[in-house]
Amino acid sequence: MKNRTALLNCLSPFLLLFALLANASDNPPQAAIATAHPLATQAGQEILNSGGNAFDAAVAVTAVLGVVEPYGSGLGGGGFWLLHRNADNFQVMVDGREKAPMAARRDMYLDDKGEVIPGASIDGPLAAGIPGVPAAMVHIAKKYGRLSLAKNLAPAIRLARDGFKVDKQYRRYAEMRLKTLQRFPETAKLFLHDNTVPPLGYRLKQEDLANTLESIAQHGESDFYRGALAKRLVDAVKKAGGIWSLDDLKNYRIVEREPVRTEYRGMKLISAALPSSGGITLASMLQMLQQYDLHKMSDTDRAHLIIEIMRRAYRDRAEYLGDSDFVDVPVARLTSTAYAKELVKGIQMDDAMPSAELRPVGKPGGAGTDTTHFSILDKEGNRVAATLSVNYLFGSCFVVPGTGFLLNDEMDDFSAKPGVANAYGLIGAEANAIEPGKRPLSSMSPTFLEDKRGIAIIGTPGGSRIISMVLLAALQYAEGADATSIVQLPRFHHQYMPDIVMFEDDAFSEKVEQDLALRGHVLKKQMSPYGGGFGHYGNMQGIVWDKHKNKVTAASDTRGIGAAVVFKQ
Ligand code: DON
C-alpha cells in the first residue's frame, strides 16, 4: 500500500501532465457560434469573451433572438436546449416546451359539427400554450452557466431598449402575418409602424420587453410564473378569449430529459427526446438506412430509398408519438434495428409505395424559416444546440399589454382532430391528442453528431421538415463535410401525408427527377411564398469541429439572414 502511494506520488506530475494533454486535445482550437441573426451571434460572442461558457452564451442568444426575431421565438414560446458539458461528457436535453393549460380539452378547436375551426389553434390567445422559455433560461444559467443571469440577459435588454434595425426577413414575415398582427391593437402598436409593415432600417424599440427581461434578470422566473406579471398575463388572456389560469403558470416546470441516441455506421447521433418527435424519427430513419450501403447506389436509388424511409418513419410519428409524460410510446421498439429491418421489407427499389398502402393512421406549410435554431461551441468543448419557437410566424400574434412579448400558438402542434392536418400538413392520432397539462408533439431536433473525425452541432426551423433536413445534414456530415456544405445542402422531404416529395430547385438533377417520377413519386418543387419562382426552406445553423484537421467551421444558412463566427475565445 505504502509502495503504491509512493509510486503514485512520484508519477503524479506525469499523470497530471497526461491528463492536461489529454484534455487539451479534447478542447477545440477555436470557439464558434452560428445563429439566425447577426445580433444574436454577436451577443453570444460577447458573453464567451467576457468569461462565460457555452451555456451562458446560450442564455444570451436565446434572449436576443426573442428580441430581434419576434416572429420566430421569444419569452412567450418554448424550445429544446441540447447541452454537452465536456469536462464529464454529460449530455442532457432541457425541455422548455409549452404545456396545454389545464382547461384545454381535446375538442377545443372543433365546431358543433366536429369540424376544425380554421385559425382557432393559430391566431389569438386560445392558441397559446404555457411558455417555457423564461424558466429554461433561468435554469440553464443557474445550473450550467458561469456568469450571472443578469449579465447573460444584458445584451437582450440593451437591444430591446435601444432598438434594432428592421431587416428584410422581419418585413417579409410581418407582411405574411399582417392581417392578424393588425387584429390585436397592442401587437400592431409594438410590431408595426402606422399599422403597417415597418420600413427597412426602421429602429424597432421594445421598452416593455426590456422591462420584462429586466424583471427576469433581477428576480428570475418568479414574477413571470407567480407574481404580478403572471396575474397580468392570465387576466388579459382570459379577457381576450383564452383559458390560462394562475395555476397553469405556477405549475409550469422545465424537464431535463435523456436525449435520444442512435448509431449509424460508426457515427453517433444525439438528438431531442419526446415531446419532440425529432430524435426518434431520426433514429428510426438511420436504422432503416443502415440496412443498405448508400455508397453503392446510383443517385436515383439513393434519393428513392431516402424518400421511402422518410415516408415510413413519418407514418410512425403520426401514429405513435406524443408527450411521453401522458402516453406510452414504444421508443425502444421504434428505434431498434429489428423493427427497422421489418419496416424496410416493404421497400421496392423500382417503385414508390403510395402512403395510402401503408397501414393507415394534408397540405404543406410555409417557408420554414420562422422558429429558430442556434449552435454554440466554447473553448472548453462545451456545446449547445437549441431550437426555439413560438410556432407559426409571430406565434398567435397576441401580446398582453405592457409585457412586450408575443404569445405562442404551439397548441396547433397537437392533433386537433385525428387525421386532420395542422399548419405543417402533419396529421396525428390519439398519442398527440390535446390533454390538460400535456406538451404538444414537436419536430424540433437540436442534434449532435459524433464520430472518429469529430463532432457536429446542428439544427434548423422548418416545422415537419426539420427532421428530414437534419437527416440529410447527418448523412452529409458522415461523408466528411464541413459546416458550410452541411447547411447549404439542397433539400428534399417526404412526410407520409401528403404523399408527395417536396424539394428545393437544386435538390435533384434533371435525370434523377425524371427517374423518381417514373418510379411513381409525385414531385413538388418548393415554391417561393414571396412569389418569383422556386423557393427554399429551413434555416440551418451548424458547427463542425474536425479533430483530424484540428479545425472548427461554422455556417449560417444563406436561406436566412444569420451569421456564424469562429474565433479564439
Ligand atoms: O415544434 C414544432 O415542431 C413547430 N412548432 C416548429 C415550427 C417551425 O419550425 C416553424 N418554422 N417553419
What pLDDT digit, counting tens, does each position of 460-488 carry?
A: 999 999 999 999 999 999 999 999 999 99
Please say whether the beta carbons of 565 and 32 come within 8 A: yes
Pocket test for ligand 1, best of 371, 373, 540, 541 (most atoms within 8 A of CB): 371
CA 365 to ligand 1: nearest atom: 12
Grid cell locating 465: 421538415
Report the pLDDT value the prediction gives residue 529, as an integer from 0 to 100. Answer: 66
pLDDT at 364: 39
554 grid coordinates = 461554422
What DSSP letter does each residue of 499-529 carry, written as one string? --EEE-TTSS-HHHHHHHHHTT--EEEPBPT
**Nearest CA owner, ligand 1 atom 6:** 463
- The residue whose CA has the least distance to atom 5 of ligand 1 is 391
Residue 248: which H helix or E strand, with range?
helix 246-250
Among positive and negative, which fits the CA dihedral 122, 125, 127, 128?
Answer: positive
Which pLDDT score is estimated for 20?
44
Are the CB atoms for 372 and 388 separated by under 8 Å? yes
pLDDT tens, position by position, 539-559: 999 999 999 999 999 999 999
DSSP state at residue 412: G
For CA atoms 323, 325, 327, 331, the dihedral sign is positive
Alpha-carbon gap, residue 82 to 373, rounded angstroms:
11
Residue 16: per-residue pLDDT = 45
Atom of ligand 1 nearest to the CA of 370: 11
- Alpha-carbon span 376 to 374, nearest angstrom: 7
Cell numbers representing residue 473 in the block: 445534414
How many helices and strands, by DSSP H and E, does the chain display?
A: 19, 20
> Atom 1 in ligand 1: which residue has the minimum CA distance?
442
Q: 323 φ, ψ to 5°? A: -60, 115
Q: What is the pLDDT along the chain (569 residues), one digit of tens a residue?
A: 344 445 545 555 554 444 444 444 589 999 999 999 999 999 999 999 999 999 999 999 999 999 999 999 999 999 999 999 999 999 999 999 999 999 999 999 999 999 999 999 999 999 999 999 999 999 999 999 999 999 999 999 999 999 999 999 999 999 999 999 999 999 999 999 999 999 999 999 999 999 999 999 999 999 999 999 999 999 999 999 999 999 999 999 999 999 999 999 999 999 999 999 999 999 999 999 999 999 999 999 999 999 999 999 999 999 999 999 999 999 999 999 999 999 999 999 999 999 999 988 733 344 555 799 999 999 999 999 999 999 999 999 999 999 999 999 999 999 999 888 888 888 888 899 999 999 999 999 999 999 999 999 999 999 999 999 999 999 999 999 999 999 999 999 999 999 999 999 999 999 999 999 999 999 999 877 666 667 899 999 999 999 999 999 999 999 999 999 999 99
State in Å: Cα 276 to ligand 1 middle. Answer: 11
Distance from the CA of 3 to the center of ligand 1, in angstroms?
Answer: 62
C-alpha of residue 392 to centroid of ligand 1, in Å = 7
From the CA of 545, how far away is ligand 1's center (Å)?
27
pLDDT at 494: 97
Cell of 208: 416593455
Q: Which atom of ligand 1 is nearest to the CA of 443?
A: 3
Find the 41 Cα to ligand 1 centroid distance in Å: 21
Q: Which of 180, 369, 371, 403 is catalytic?
A: 371
Closest-lying ligand 1 atom to the alpha carbon of residue 368: 12
Rounded Cα distance between 71 and 409, Å, is: 11
pLDDT at position 420 is 86
Q: Does residue 219 come out as left (phi exceeding 0), alpha (psi in the -120 to 50 range) or beta? A: alpha
Q: How far is the CA of 147 from the centre of ligand 1 (A)?
A: 30
Q: How many residues does the chain have?
A: 569
- The strand ranges marked E within 379-463 are 383-389, 398-399, 406-407, 447-450, 454-458
Select from 424, 467, 502, 557 the residue to mutate for testing ligand 1; criterion: most ligand atoms less than 8 Å from CB.
424
The pTM of the full predicted model, rounded to 2 decimals, is 0.94
What is the spatial distance between Cα 289 and Cα 294, in angstroms, rounded to a whole number? Answer: 8
Q: Ligand 1 pocket check: which of 391, 467, 495 to mutate, most ligand atoms within 8 Å of Cβ? A: 391
Pocket test of ligand 1: the residue of 388, 389, 470 to mutate, having most ligand atoms within 8 Å of its CB, is: 389
Here the cell at position 74 is 421569444
Pure H helices in 290-375: 299-320, 331-334, 337-344
pLDDT of residue 55: 99
Reading the block at residue 307, the C-alpha cell is 424518400
Predicted pLDDT at 421: 86
- Cβ < 6 A, ligand 1 pocket: 366, 368, 370-371, 389, 391, 410, 413, 442-444, 461-463, 466
Cell 405513435 belongs to 320
Which ligand 1 atom minimizes the distance to the CA of 393?
A: 10
pLDDT at residue 23, rounded to an integer: 45
DSSP reduced 3-state for 448: strand
Enclosing H/E stretch for 270? strand 267-271
Alpha carbon of 459 to ligand 1 centroid (Å): 12
Residue nearest (by alpha carbon) to ligand 1 atom 8: 463
Q: Is 371 a catalytic residue?
A: yes
Among 433, 458, 382, 534, which Cα is nearest to 106's?
433
> Which single residue is written with the C-alpha cell 425502444?
332
Distance 466 CA to ligand 1 centre (A): 8
